[in-house]
Amino acid sequence: MLRTFKPTLWTFFAMLGTASMAFGQGGATGTILGTVSDNTGAVLPNASITVTNTVTDVAHRPQTTAAGDYSVPDLQPGTYSVSIQAPGFSSHVVNNVTLVVAQQARLNATLTPGAAAETVQVNAGAVALDTDTSSVSQLVSQKQVDQLPQNGRNFLNLLFIGAGAVQTVGEQGQMRQGEGNAISINGARPESNNYTLDGMVNTDTALNTPAVILSQDAI
């Protein structure tokens, strides 16, 4: 039975190494990081951070370093809330933080003096530029999956939306007839590709192709 294969293509595959589309150097996970300071600009060490997946309710609770920095890596793509607390300061909560594959979402926070019971809530906006990593990635939307024509209805053809993806010849296509030929990303070997399905490895270790080829309608 097929379940939870929406809303976007990042639930299906991630490329390692040089990257394009819904995959990047960070694999199939992302990172939320930032710096916490007070209203004078001084950094706040040992502030308590709570990063919670709003769907699964799984929470991560690091503290800021002596430099006021925090980082929560290896997060599954999804929507998160981030709560920041420090003694003598109002709590700071950022809601609706959307994290995609290989993204490093920076959420800096400025805390204001006040009681711990006081909370400043912020709704996160879209991150226009990922300044914490040099990886290149591209997300394929559900609308593109639903409406773009695909030869043979093979979702792997959606790879070619991103710059740098080309089809090459090789044993990958010869061994798996009708399921697409070898695909090179930014000049890398097709054997360097890695595919995941809902966060689990979906790579045929013999040919480095997707082990499970799903219907376009299942994505």
Q: Write down all domains in the chain, each with its CATH number in brackets.
A: 9-25+136-218 (no CATH), 30-123 (2.60.40.1120)
Least confident of 53-57, 108-112, 122-126, 176-180: 176-180
User: Residue 131 has what pLDDT?
Assistant: 64
> Considering the chain, what percentage of its residues have pLDDT values greater than 70?
75
Do residues 77 and 100 lie in contact, with contact meaning Cβ atoms separated by under 8 Å?
yes
Round the CA-based radius of gyration of the chain to a whole number and report it: 20
User: Residue 73 has what pLDDT?
Assistant: 94
How many residues are recorded in the chain?
Answer: 219
Q: Is the pLDDT of residue 178 over 80?
A: no
Alpha helices, DSSP H, located in 80-197: 142-147, 171-175
pLDDT category at 133 given cuts 50, 70, 90 is low
- Mean pLDDT value of segment 105-117: 86
- Mean pLDDT value of segment 141-167: 81
CB-CB neighbours of 166 under 10 Å:
13
Task: Give the model confidence (pLDDT) of 2-48 as tens digits.
Answer: 344 344 444 334 333 333 333 334 457 889 999 999 999 999 999 99
d(CA 219, CA 180): 17
Q: Is the pLDDT of residue 165 over 70?
A: yes
**133 or 73, which is more confident:** 73
Whose CA is closest to 98, among 122, 127, 140? 127
pLDDT category at 125 given cuts 50, 70, 90 is low
CA distances from 80 to 50, 56, 124 (A): 10, 10, 10
Do residues 169 and 184 lie in contact, with contact meaning Cβ atoms separated by under 8 Å?
no
**Mean of the per-residue pLDDT values of the chain:** 78
CB-CB neighbours of 199 under 10 Å:
15
Top mean pLDDT of 125-134, 177-186, 193-202 is at 193-202
